[in-house]
């Protein structure tokens, strides 16, 4: 919704009154003209919200700080924009607005006092003007998520005070100027998701202050890894999908003793990397090795006592998950999905149960046999598409934080544990579960999604489902459930999907007169085929 002329006028007068307490009239006037250049969205209808982002200097009355709410304005930012008259600006944040593919105007070079310039996700296109060199006081420059092109050389000359530079998610090309890496104060550099090539050559690499370096999703040459390995101050390094010609040997990172976060996803690693006895940086906390063509479980992880996030998904790792993995004391999130694991080493009662893991994804593997007792602190458990057999362990009912349980596409037998109302998402699709669906959905049950399709369940649809007022998705298709049409489910105000297909439901599907009008308030999908229903489907099922 765009601002009407009258509302805009009133906003501007409020802006004037409030801002005038601190800002000189000519500054307020300039802000007013700047606002008039654009269309406004309803987000800006909250005047105090808009004004919160304007600060003037107490002594001079000039605007020094301007931060627009995201999604506020839309339109072209022209070189003659009033914005560029605010020459005392030290902080400018226009991120998350829509400048309709405007060029990044060379007029930014007039804002000589800028220390922080944030223009992320603004739709800017074209090259960065060379006038950006006129901003020697800049310490933070963020131009990520735009459509900027050209090479990086103009950016590095003269901006010697930069401490953080984020140019990620653009279309910059060419090589990385080595002077960028050695800028005297630069500690944060994000160039990921561009079209950069080549490598960089640095004579005095010890002068680099880089602590964070993100270069993923570019087209570099393999030599770049050798140079990166000399940036000894690095703590956070992200090199996903570099598309370099030969596999990376992990040993090269052993020199980076301060490293705590490493992302090599999407690069092939040499097989010998996994077996190496050389010490990996001990402070490693986050390690992402997804899609790295790994076939043996990485043993170098064992001494990493600070590791809390490990992603080994999309590899080719075979055999058992080693038992020592579960004793890494801080491990919280573990992703092993899409490998060829077949089992767990160690006693099934204890291996997982003793670990600190909260998010565990072992889907898309070849695990066989019984399912181990899940970790005590588990929140999100995903094990779909394996070959687990036996019963679902009752201990899931003892895991008070468990919220998402996905055991679909396995061969679980026996009955469904009686605590399904504890979880917001339950997916047990395509197993061999039998017996009744436990009638144990207590008042206040958290269930939003309950999918038990393609099993061998019998009995009624449990009436206690009515206690699950949050239920949105209920699927019991392809079972042997024997019941009449669940008119009573209309009391579930949030139900969107109801699938009863291929069961033994029978009786009329038209509501008996005494039931009153039947209308599921939010129903979008209703599948009832392959049952023994009679009667016609009333139109008013779908009135909403």
Ligand X SMILES: *[C@@H]1O[C@H](CO)[C@@H](O)[C@H](O)[C@H]1NC(C)=O
58 touches ligand X (CB under 6 A): yes
The residues, any chain, with a CB within 8 Å of residue 59's CB and separated by 6 or more, are: none
Which of 409/450 has CB closer to ligand X?
A: 409
Q: Which of 12, 31, 66, 118 binds ligand X (CB under 6 A)?
A: 118
Judged by CB under 6 A, the chain residues 238 through 277 that form the site for ligand X are 243, 247, 268, 271
Quick note: the x/- pattern for ligand X over 404-423, rule CB under 6 A, is: -----xxx------------
372 touches ligand X (CB under 6 A): no
* Stretch of residues binding ligand X (CB under 6 A), selected from 13-21, 91-99, 145-153, 518-526: 91-99
**DSSP H/E element including 225:** helix 224-228
Kindly state the number of chain residues that form the binding site for ligand X, as judged by CB under 6 A. 41
* Stretch of residues binding ligand X (CB under 6 A), selected from 148-156, 273-281, 394-402, 464-472: 394-402
To ligand X, the closest distance from the beta carbon of 155 in angstroms equals 12
Q: Which of 350, 463, 493, 522 binds ligand X (CB under 6 A)?
A: 350
Sign of CA dihedral 186, 188, 193, 199: positive
158 touches ligand X (CB under 6 A): yes
70 touches ligand X (CB under 6 A): yes
Q: Which of 106, 229, 293, 340 binds ligand X (CB under 6 A)?
A: 293
Q: Which of 7, 16, 78, 496 binds ligand X (CB under 6 A)?
A: 78
Residues 280, 435: Cα–Cα separation, whole Å: 51
Which of 86/492 has CB closer to ligand X?
A: 86
368, 387 contact by CB (below 8 A): yes
To ligand X, the closest distance from the beta carbon of 262 in angstroms equals 19
- CA distances for 495 relative to 291, 469, 488, angstroms: 38, 9, 12
Which of 232/526 has CB closer to ligand X?
A: 232
Q: What is the DSSP annotation of 387-449?
A: EE-SBPPGGGGG-TT--EEE--SS--BSPPPTTGGG-SEEE--SS--EEPPPS---TT---SE
Which of 11/138 has CB closer to ligand X?
A: 138
Q: Which of 28, 30, 64, 95 binds ligand X (CB under 6 A)?
A: 95
93 touches ligand X (CB under 6 A): yes
Nearest to 164 by CA among 198, 135, 131, 188: 188
Q: What is the DSSP annotation of 436-478?
A: PPPS---TT---SEEE--SSEE-SPPPGGGGG-TT--EEE--S
Reduce the DSSP state of residue 126 to 3 states and report it.
strand
Which of 344/520 has CB closer to ligand X?
A: 344
48 touches ligand X (CB under 6 A): no
- CA distances for 136 relative to 182, 408, 430, angstroms: 17, 58, 63
Which of 451/483 has CB closer to ligand X?
A: 451
Residues 332, 136: Cα–Cα separation, whole Å: 43
295 touches ligand X (CB under 6 A): yes
43, 71 contact by CB (below 8 A): yes
* Stretch of residues binding ligand X (CB under 6 A), selected from 157-165, 224-232, 399-407, 475-483: 157-165
Residues 153, 467: Cα–Cα separation, whole Å: 63
To ligand X, the closest distance from the beta carbon of 106 in angstroms equals 12
Q: Which of 4, 10, 39, 80 binds ligand X (CB under 6 A)?
A: 80
To ligand X, the closest distance from the beta carbon of 160 in angstroms equals 7
Nearest to 223 by CA among 187, 178, 260: 178
Residues 188, 456: Cα–Cα separation, whole Å: 56
Reduce the DSSP state of residue 344 to 3 states and report it.
strand
Q: For helices 25-36 and 5-20, what crossing angle results, to 10°?
A: 150
406, 425 contact by CB (below 8 A): yes
Q: Which of 39, 42, 387, 400 binds ligand X (CB under 6 A)?
A: 387
Q: Cα angle at 209 between 159 and 258, to 5 degrees?
A: 155
229, 258 contact by CB (below 8 A): no
96 touches ligand X (CB under 6 A): yes
Residues 406, 381: Cα–Cα separation, whole Å: 6
291 touches ligand X (CB under 6 A): yes
To ligand X, the closest distance from the beta carbon of 523 in angstroms equals 31
To ligand X, the closest distance from the beta carbon of 537 in angstroms equals 35
To ligand X, the closest distance from the beta carbon of 49 in angstroms equals 10
* Stretch of residues binding ligand X (CB under 6 A), selected from 129-137, 143-151, 376-384, 533-541: 129-137
Q: Which of 25, 136, 508, 516 binds ligand X (CB under 6 A)?
A: 136
Place of tokens 């030599």: 223
Identify the burial level of 518 via C-beta atoms within 10 angstroms of its C-beta, where 0-12 means exposed, 13-18 middle and 19 or more buried: middle
To ligand X, the closest distance from the beta carbon of 518 in angstroms equals 39
**DSSP H/E element including 47:** helix 47-51
Q: Which of 64, 192, 338, 475 binds ligand X (CB under 6 A)?
A: 338
* Stretch of residues binding ligand X (CB under 6 A), selected from 98-106, 309-317, 450-458, 479-487: 309-317
Judged by CB under 6 A, the chain residues 190 through 249 that form the site for ligand X are 204, 206-207, 243, 247
Which of 413/484 has CB closer to ligand X?
A: 413
- CA distances for 416 relative to 228, 388, 393, 413, 474, angstroms: 52, 15, 10, 9, 15
Under the rule (CB under 6 A), what is the footprint of ligand X? Answer: 58, 67, 69-70, 78, 80, 93, 95-96, 118, 133-134, 136-137, 157-158, 161, 204, 206-207, 243, 247, 268, 271, 291, 293, 295, 314-316, 338, 350, 354, 364, 387, 394-395, 398, 409-411
């Amino acid at each position: 919704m765009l601002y009407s002329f009258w509302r805009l006028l009133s906003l501007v007068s409020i802006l004037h009154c409030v801002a005038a307490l601190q800002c000189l009239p000519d500054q307020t006037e300039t802000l007013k003209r700047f606002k008039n250049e654009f269309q406004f969205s309803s987000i800006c209808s909250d005047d105090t919200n808009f004004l919160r982002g304007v600060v003037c200097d107490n002594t001079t009355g000039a605007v020094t700080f301007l931060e627009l709410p995201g999604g506020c304005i839309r339109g072209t930012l022209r070189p003659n924009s009033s914005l560029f008259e605010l020459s005392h600006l030290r902080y400018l944040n226009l991120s998350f607005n829509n400048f309709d593919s405007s060029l990044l105007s060379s007029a930014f070079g007039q804002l000589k006092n800028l220390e922080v310039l944030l223009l992320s996700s603004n739709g800017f296109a074209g090259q960065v003007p060379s006038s950006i060199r006129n901003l020697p006081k800049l310490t933070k420059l963020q131009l990520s998520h735009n459509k900027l092109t050209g090479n990086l050389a103009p950016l590095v000359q003269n901006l010697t005070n930069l401490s953080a530079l984020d140019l990620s998610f653009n279309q910059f090309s060419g090589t990385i100027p080595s002077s960028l890496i050695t800028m005297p104060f630069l500690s944060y550099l994000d160039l990921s998701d561009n079209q950069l090539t080549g490598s960089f050559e640095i004579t005095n690499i010890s002068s680099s202050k880089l602590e964070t370096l993100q270069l993923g999703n570019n087209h570099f040459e393999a030599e770049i890894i050798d140079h990166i390995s000399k940036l000894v101050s690095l703590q956070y390094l992200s090199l996903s999908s570099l598309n370099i010609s030969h596999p990376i040997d992990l040993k090269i990172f052993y020199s980076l003793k301060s490293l705590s976060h490493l992302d090599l996803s999407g690069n092939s690693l040499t097989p010998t990397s996994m077996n190496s006895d050389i010490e990996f940086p001990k402070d490693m906390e986050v390690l992402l090795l997804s899609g790295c063509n790994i076939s043996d479980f990485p043993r170098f992880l064992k001494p990493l006592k600070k590791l809390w996030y490990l992603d080994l998904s999309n590899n080719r790792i075979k055999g058992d998950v080693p038992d020592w993995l579960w004793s890494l004391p801080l491990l919280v999130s573990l992703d092993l999905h899409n490998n060829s694991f077949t089992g767990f080493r160690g006693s099934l009662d204890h291996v997982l149960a003793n670990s600190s893991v909260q998010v565990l994804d072992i889907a898309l593997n070849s695990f066989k046999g019984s399912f181990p007792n899940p970790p005590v602190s588990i929140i999100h458990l995903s094990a779909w598409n394996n070959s687990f057999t036996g019963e679902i362990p009752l201990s899931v009912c003892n895991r008070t934080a468990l919220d998402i349980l996905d055991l679909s596409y396995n061969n679980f037998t026996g009955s469904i544990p009686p605590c399904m109302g504890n979880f917001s998402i339950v997916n047990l699709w395509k197993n061999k579960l039998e017996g009744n669906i436990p009638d144990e959905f207590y008042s206040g049950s958290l269930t939003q999604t309950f999918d038990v399709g393609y099993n061998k369940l019998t009995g009624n649809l449990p009436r206690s489902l009515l206690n699950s007022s949050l239920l949105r998705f209920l699927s019991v298709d392809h079972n042997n459930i024997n019941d009449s049409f669940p008119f009573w489910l209309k009391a579930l105000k949030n139900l969107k999907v109801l699938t009863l297909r291929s069961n033994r439901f029978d009786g009329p599907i038209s509501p008996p007169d005494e039931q009153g009008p039947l209308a599921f308030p939010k129903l979008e999908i209703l599948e009832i085929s392959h049952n023994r229903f009679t009667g016609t489907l009333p139109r008013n099922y779908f009135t909403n």
